[in-house]
A and B are shown apart, each in its own frame.
Chain A
Amino acid sequence: MKVEREKFSETVDKMRKEGFDYLVKITAVDYGDHLEAVYMLRSIAGNKDETLEVQMPEDDAWMPTIIHLYKAADWYEREMHEMFGISIKGRRMDRLLLEKWDGIDPPFRKTFVWDTPYRTDEGKK
């Protein structure tokens, strides 16, 4: 299900009230011209899964937090912030979770340049 970023908070709020009480995963995809944040929600009692896809431009990447609804969002939002450079509005993030990336692109974006080449057998016989 595609959702606009402006309507995202109220959509999740509504779904939470409808019984989607379990957050499976938050992730993101870099499609080259835009970023997409993916929220997987589940209703355990109803045994239903729903995926919310939110598109955003690369140079204005932010998402509102949903940590007040799902505590599970805590680490997922931090991971998304570190790996995709999507900032999370409405919450504090005191420290980085996985790695410290200084002065480079967010590593999971397609613009990230690999330091070492794919094959490092140059110069070997």
Chain B
Amino acid sequence: MTITRINIGPVHPSTHGVLRLVVDIEGDTIVKVEPHIGYLHRGVEKLAETRMYMQIPPYTEKLDYVAPMSYDDAYVAAVEAALGVDVKERAQYVRVILLELQRIASHLFGIGAMCNDMGQMFTVFMWGFKDRDIVLKLLEDATGSRMFYVNMRLGGLVRDLPPGFEDEALEKLDYIDRRIKEYESYLEKNSIFMERTKGIGVLDTEAAINLGITGPPLRASGVDYDVRKNNPYYVYEKLHFSPMVLYSSDNFARYKIKIMEIKESIRLVREAFRLMPEGDALGMPVKLRSPDTKNRIVRVSRELPRGECVMYMVGDQQKPYRLSIRSPNFINLAALDEMSRGGRIADLFATMGSLDLVMGCVDR
């Protein structure tokens, strides 16, 4: 049979931004998928070399515009490590609460977008957006802005949680908890959803490790690795956190792991509220003259909603000499070829949706 080459994108409703896929097909079986990236390359790593330390969070936040808080935290943690700043105890709890809320919002978006990619299930896309907005409202109450927060400061936060936040958050989380059960019963009894996810896009454990994929796709392939557990930061050690692992390695596992992580995050937030001490959570002023960090090398790992982010930073006077960001989406997208090879062209977008890509994070 002859091999046909088709071009998808860069502008396409299912490509989560601007991504071009060049797909070789034989009949409707995929022989090769070649992602062409770089349409959103903004050179944030280079730009960071020209700004002072605390001028950079607005840039790093915009890398992953679905979960900006997580990138904010990862970058500020790298600066804290370079300067040797300790985070206040209450601030650690508040950060964990905000990060887990962000994870819930991001996963709701991810599940919705995946269902949208598969056609048919636009309902879940609307549900995902509606429920995500409830969480974003909570984050707005806590930080003052709905999408781009810039809420981390050295050693703490810009502002502490407002009074009454705990009651409101717990109430909203109870609602999300109920909604998640609806998602499950709606999707897992839907034959179209199950046929396009069960056994599609399989990536076995060995290949997953060798391809270096990370986050929910890695744990869906049966690898028990979560930075929050294996290399714990903040108060995750105190919070009885256990990573979610599934072994079926297909699209369904990658969807299911997000559902399980939402439930775990809700539990973590509740527990963090219970254990959170009173006190001060405010960070240092932004115009602080930092000590000399010339040639100081730090490497900080954080578990973002989409996977592990590593900030490798070489310090200079008051600013980074080089900031290198390991973006989880970049390496997950590189594995798309291996996942979808041998499958049907129609299932390509189901597989891509299950990876939960954000192109800003891929290109940096």
B-contacting residues of A (Cβ < 8 Å)? 21-25, 27, 29-30, 38, 40, 44, 47, 49, 51, 70-72, 74-76, 96-99, 107-108, 112, 118
Determine whether the beta carbon of B210 is less than 8 Å from that of A108: no
Q: Which residues of A contact B38 (CB under 8 A)?
A: 96-99
Q: Which residues of B contact A21 (CB under 8 A)?
A: 209-210
A29's nearest neighbour on chain B, judged by CB, is B322
> Within the complex, which residue of B41, B50, B223, B326 is in contact with A24, where a contact is CB–CB below 8 Å?
B326
Given contacts A29-B314, A38-B312, A44-B225, A107 and B212 within 8 Å (CB-CB): no
Q: Which residues of B contact A44 (CB under 8 A)?
A: 209, 223, 225
Determine whether the beta carbon of A30 is less than 8 Å from that of B322: yes
Determine whether the beta carbon of A98 is less than 8 Å from that of B41: yes
Task: Give the number of chain B interface residues (Cβ < 8 Å).
Answer: 31
A27-B324, A40-B312, A49-B231 known, 15 other contacts, Cβ within 8 Å: A22-B209, A23-B212, A25-B312, A40-B310, A70-B212, A71-B211, A72-B210, A72-B334, A76-B331, A96-B38, A97-B38, A99-B38, A107-B46, A108-B46, A108-B322
Determine whether the beta carbon of B209 is less than 8 Å from that of A47: no
Q: Which residues of A contact B230 (CB under 8 A)?
A: 47
Q: Which residues of B contact A99 (CB under 8 A)?
A: 38, 41
Query: In the bound complex, how far is the Cα of B312 from the Cα of A76, in angstroms?
Result: 14
10 A-B pairs with least C-beta separation:
A72-B212, A98-B38, A27-B324, A25-B326, A75-B334, A29-B322, A71-B210, A71-B211, A23-B212, A98-B41
Interface residues of B in 317-354 (CB under 8 A from A): 321-322, 324, 326, 330-331, 334, 338
Nearest-Cβ distance from residue A95 to partner chain B, whole angstroms: 8
Nearest-Cβ distance from residue B229 to partner chain A, whole angstroms: 10
Q: Which residues of B contact A70 (CB under 8 A)?
A: 210, 212
A-contacting residues of B (Cβ < 8 Å)? 37-38, 41, 43, 45-46, 50, 207, 209-213, 223, 225, 230-231, 299, 308, 310, 312, 314, 321-322, 324, 326, 330-331, 334, 338, 363
Nearest-Cβ distance from residue A31 to partner chain B, whole angstroms: 8
Query: In the bound complex, how far is the Cα of B308 from the Cα of A49, in angstroms?
Result: 14
Query: In the bound complex, how far is the Cα of B88 from the Cα of A18, in angstroms?
Result: 39
B321's nearest neighbour on chain A, judged by CB, is A29
Given contacts A98-B41, A118-B50, A27 and B312 within 8 Å (CB-CB): yes
Determine whether the beta carbon of A108 is less than 8 Å from that of B363: no
Determine whether the beta carbon of B310 is less than 8 Å from that of A22: no
Determine whether the beta carbon of B312 is less than 8 Å from that of A22: no
B40's nearest neighbour on chain A, judged by CB, is A98
